[in-house]
Chains A and B, each alone.
Chain A
Amino acid sequence: MAYNITDNCRGCRACVRPCPTQAISGERHEVHIIDPQRCIECGTCGRICPYEAILTPQGSLAQRVKKMNWPKPVVDQKTCVSCGLCVTICPVSCFELEFIQEKSAARGFPILARPNDCIACIFCADICPVEAITMRARNKA
C-alpha cells in the first residue's frame, strides 16, 4: 500500500523534498511517481500538493493543508513513560530527549526539538502506548 500521484500532477516538485524517504521522483513539469517500496504512508505529499493530485492508499483524494495549520505533537510529560517509541518512529527525527532530574538520576522525556521539521504524519501519536501525545494545530493551541 502506498500513496499515488494522479494525472493532475503538474510536476511542480513541491512534494519531492519534504518526502522523508525520497520516494517521489520525476522531471519538472511532468507527472511524478511514488515508489511504493519507499513510501511509508506519512501523507506529507498529500498535505502539500497544490493541485489535488495525490491519492491516499485507500484511493481517496488527499486534502491540502496549509503548512502553518499542520498539527504538531504535544507531549504530556505526566502521562509519558519515557518509552521512546515516539522518538524512534519519527521519520524526520524531530524529537529529542529532555532529561529531567528525578530523585537520583535524570530521566529522558521527549520534546519536539525541531518543530519546523515535523511533517504532521501523526506516527508518534498513533504509536504512543499511553496516549501522552496529542496533535494540535497552531491556531487551535
Chain B
Amino acid sequence: MPGYMGKVLWVDLGKQQFREEEIPEDIYQDFLSGMGLAAHLLYEHIPPGADPLGPDNVLGFVSGLLTGTPSLFSGRWLAVGKSPLTNTWGDANCGGYFSFAIKKCGYDGIFFTGQSEQPVYLSVDPGGSQLLEAEDLWGSDATEAENTLLERHGAQRMPGVICIGPAGEKQSLIAGISHDFGRMAARSGLGAVMGSKNLKAVVLAGAQPVSVADSQQMKALCQKPARITRFRIPLSARMMALAGKLLRNPWIKLRWDGILFSGVLRKWGTVGLNQTSIEWGDAPIKNWAGTHQDFPLEASKQIAPDAISKLEQKKYHCLACPLGCGGKIKGLGENQVTKKPEYETTLAFTGLVLNEDYSLVIEVNDLLNRAGMDTISAGATVAAAIEWYQDGLLTREDTGELELTWGNPDAILALVKAMIAREGIGDVLADGSKRAAERLNIKDRQAAITAGGSELAFHDTRLDPGFGLHAGVEPAPGRHTSGAFIYYNLYRLWTRIKHLPKPPLITSKKKHFIPSKEIIRRAVAISKFTNYYNTLGICLFGIYIGVDRLPLFEWTNAATGWSRSPEDYLTVGHRIQTLRQLFNIKQGVNPVDIKISRRALGIPPQESGPNQGNQIDYPALRRMYWEQIGWDPETGYPTQETLKALGLEHRLSGLEEEYGV
C-alpha cells in the first residue's frame, strides 16, 4: 500500500470486540486518508439523531496519508466524531507523534463504537489489540495518566499515548484529548465523547513503517521547504509590536508572504504574534467589546515574544516538523518545566479578560492541559462569565463569592479550577458559554461569542470577515483553522491551479467586507484545499509558506504513485466538505440554524479601534458561498447535481424525505 496502510481498526467497547476493516482502493482514490476517510466512515456508521454522548456515536482517530513518509509538516492526526458541543460533525486536529503511532500499528485510523461499562484503555502492539482496565487511571489528570502509561508500556519505545483528563471523564462539553503532555485535540468537545465511552486512553506501540511509491522523489521535494523554513527572520519583538501598529491603518491590506509567518513561528512560536495581533486588531479584547486601547503595549509587555523567550528552555517539534513552534518553559514551581502556552491560550487569558499577569496564563494553561479542557472554549467562557457578572446577570451568590471583575487573576484562576472540578458555577460553565447562557437563563446572548455553539478562537472576524464566514459555513462550526481570507494569500493556490486568481499586493480593507463573487471564489477554494490537506496529516503552519514551496500535490503523487492534478485533489476536498455537510443534514442539523454571535459580525459595529465600523453581511456571504460550492443557496443542502458530480448521489439513502426524492 503506497502512503496508506489500507485498513482501519474498529473497537466495540460494549462487546469488547475488535474488527479490522480493509478499505477498498476506490475509497482512498475518492477520499484519500485522514479527514476524508473519517468522513466516509462516520457518515455511514453514525445513525441519524445519534446522541453524541451515547453508544451510537463513533469516536475515531485518524492519521494522514503523508504521515510517516519522507515529507515535512506531516505529523498531524485528527479526533473525529459527532460533537456534543455543536451536535454537528466534530473534529479536532493535533500534533505530537501520535499520527505516526496509528500507522505504525498498521492502520490509517482507529474507531470506537459503543460504551464500556468500566473504565478501559486500548493497547495495540505487534502482539495485537487489547482493552485493559483503567480503574486505577480514572480520576488522574492527563499528565499523570500519560506518565503511568508510558512507564507501563515502555517509555523508551515511545508508544503514542492519548488520554482524557478529569474534564473528559466528567463529560465537560469543552473537553479535549491530550497527547504528549499537553498537545490537545481540543475542539468539538470530543474529550467528552471519549469520557462517555469510558475510554481513558489509547496506547499505540507498533513498529510498521510506511511504504511509498517513490521515496527518492519525495525526498527531493523536501529540499525546498527545508531550506525556506530555516529562514531566520531579522525582526525583534519590538518591531513585531510596531508592525501591528502600522497594520492598524484603516485603508489597506497587504498580500502577506507566509515565509514571514514561518520565520516568526521558528523564532518564537505562535506567541510571536501576541502583540502584533493585539495592535493590529486581530486579537479580540475584553470579550470582543474592547480594542487595543483597553489593552495597550504597557499591559501586554509580559506577553511580548522576547519576554516569553526568556522563560523558554526547549523548543518542541511535532513529528516531521522543521519549524518547532512549540516549547517548554519554566513553570511557576521550583525546577518545574511546563508546556509553553500557545497564542490562543495566551490571548484568552490576557487581552480577552484584560489580565496583565503572565503567570496566570502559565498556571491556567497547565491546569487546563492536565484537566484535558480546551483553552479556547474555556477562555471564551470565562470572558463571557466576567461580562455577565459585570452586567449584573450573574451575582456574587451565583459565582460562589468570586469577584469576577475584568483583569482579576485570582478570580479567574478560581473560576477555571471550579470549571475543571465542575463545582458551583463551574459546573454550568464547563459546557461552554452557549449552554451556560441557556442554563443560567441569560436572555441577552451577546457575550457568548460562538458559531453554532462552539467558541470562536481569537482572530477578529471584524478584521478578516473570512474567519466569520468559515466559522459559520464549515460543517464543524467555530473554527479559525478551516478558513479565512488571509489564508488565500498564504496558501498561494494560484501557483498550482491556473484558474484561481493571484490577489494584488495591496487591497482596500473595506473591499473585504463587500460580498463579491471574487472573494467567495477564494473562500470556496480554501474550503476544498483545507479538506484536502487534512487528508494528508499536514500542519496549517506548514502550508503558510504556500503550495509552490510545500509541494503537497507532488508529495501525494510521489507517495501513492498516482499522477493526479491539483484540480483533481481539490475535487477530493470538495467531496469531503460536501459529505461532511451531508453528515450534518443526516443528523438533523439545519444549516440555516448555525448562527454566529452578533458581536462577532460587527452588529453593532465597534465605535473605535482598528475594526471601527466594520460589519459582516454574513447572510449574503453564506448565500454566495453555498451557491458557489454547489449547495442550495437558501438551505445549504448540497444540490443533487453537486452530489452526482462528486459521486455522492448514493449517499442520499435515508435522506429521501429531506431531498424529496
Please list the residues of chain A having a beta carbon within 8 angstroms of any beta carbon in chain B.
Answer: 20-23, 37-38, 40-41, 81-85, 87-89, 91, 93, 99, 102, 104-108, 123, 126-131
Is B327 located at the chain interface by the 8 A CB criterion? yes
* Pairwise interchain contact A83-B317, C-beta atoms closer than 8 A: yes
- CA of A56 to CA of B368, assembled, Å: 50
**Stretch of B25-33, B64-72, B244-252, B520-528 at the chain-chain interface:** B64-72
Contact B320 A83, beta carbon cutoff 8 Å:
yes
- Given A21-B126, A40-B209, A129-B71, A108 and B100 touching (CB < 8 A)? no
Are A108 and B319 interface neighbours, CB within 8 A? no
Interface membership of chain B positions 145-166, coded 1 if the CB is closer than 8 angstroms to chain A and 0 otherwise: 0000000000011100000000
Say yes or no: B215 contacts A126, CB within 8 Å.
yes
Identify A93's interface contact among B100, B158, B309, B322, CB under 8 A: B158
Q: Which of A23, A37, A84 contacts B319 (CB 8 A)?
A: A84
Pair B315/A108 contact, Cβ less than 8 Å: yes
Given contacts A38-B127, A130-B322, 5 further A-B contacts (CB under 8 A): A40-B207, A88-B319, A104-B267, A108-B314, A127-B68
Collect the chain A residues with CB atoms within 8 Å of residue B322's CB.
81-83, 130
* Contacting pair A106 B313 (CB below 8 A): yes
CB distance from A48 to the nearest CB of B (A): 18
Contact of B156 with A107 in the complex, beta carbons under 8 Å = no
Report the count of interface residues on B (CB-CB < 8 A): 40
Whether A127 contacts B70 by the Cβ 8 Å rule is yes
User: Is B324 part of the contact surface with A, judged by Cβ < 8 Å?
Assistant: yes
Residues on B with C-beta less than 8 A from A88 are 97, 100, 158, 319
Instruction: Map CB proximity to A onto B9-51 as digits: 1 under 8 Å, 0 otherwise.
Output: 0000000000000000000000000000000000000000000
A20 contacts B71, C-beta separation under 8 Å: no
| B307-345 near A? 1/0 per residue, CB < 8 Å | 001101111011111101001100000000000000000
The 3 A-B pairs of least Cβ separation, nearest first, read: A81-B322, A21-B126, A129-B222
10 contacts between A and B (CB under 8 A): A37-B126, A40-B126, A81-B230, A84-B318, A84-B319, A91-B207, A93-B156, A104-B309, A105-B312, A129-B320
Residues of B within 8 A of A93 (CB): 156-158
CB distance from A138 to the nearest CB of B (A): 24
Residues on B with beta carbons closer than 8 Å to the beta carbon of A38: 126-127
B229 contacts partner chain A, Cβ-Cβ < 8 Å: yes
**Does B223 lie at the interface of the complex (its beta carbon under 8 Å from any beta carbon of A)?**
yes
**B window 217-236: CB within 8 A of A:** 218-219, 222-223, 226, 229-230
The residue that A106 contacts in the complex, of B126, B209, B315, with Cβ under 8 A, is B315
Contact of B313 among A21, A40, A85, A105 (CB under 8 A): A105
A contact residues around B157 at 8 Å (CB): 93
Task: Provide the bound-state CA to CA distance between A61 and B215, in Å.
Answer: 24
Across the interface, B314 reaches (CB within 8 A) one of A87, A89, A105, namely A105
B309 to chain A: closest residue by CB: A104
- The CA-CA distance from A82 to B230 in the complex, in Å, is 11
Complex CA gap A40/B218 in Å reads: 21
Report A141 CB to chain B, min CB distance, Å.
Answer: 24
CA distance A20 to B205 in the complex (A): 12
Q: Which of B158, B209, B218 has most chain A Cβ within 10 Å?
A: B209
Given contacts A83-B319, A88-B319, A108-B315, contact A130 B158 (CB under 8 A): no
Taking CB atoms, residues of chain A closer than 8 Å to B313 are 105-106
Is residue B208 within 8 Å, beta carbon to beta carbon, of the partner chain? yes
Contacts of A82 in B (CB 8 A): 315, 317, 322, 324
The interface bits of chain B over 171-207 (1 if a CB of A lies within 8 angstroms of the residue's CB, else 0) are 0000000000000000000000000000000000001
Per-residue CB contact flags for chain B residues 91-134 toward chain A (1 = under 8 Å, else 0) read: 00000010010001000000000000000000000110000000
Assuming the contacts A23-B126, A107-B324, A129-B320, asked whether A84 and B70 have C-beta atoms less than 8 A apart, the reply is no
Chain A residue nearest to B106 (CB atoms) is A37
Q: How far is the CB of B561 from chain A (nearest CB, A)?
A: 16
A81 to B126, CA, bound (A): 30
Q: In angstroms, how far is the closest chain A Cβ from the Cβ of B324?
A: 6
User: How far is the CB of A65 from the nearest CB of chain B, in Å?
Assistant: 20
- Give Cα distance in the complex from A127 to B72, angstroms: 11
**Nearest Cβ distance between residue B372 and chain A, in whole angstroms?**
23
Minimum CB–CB distance from B96 to chain A (whole Å) comes to 10
Report B131 CB to chain A, min CB distance, Å.
19
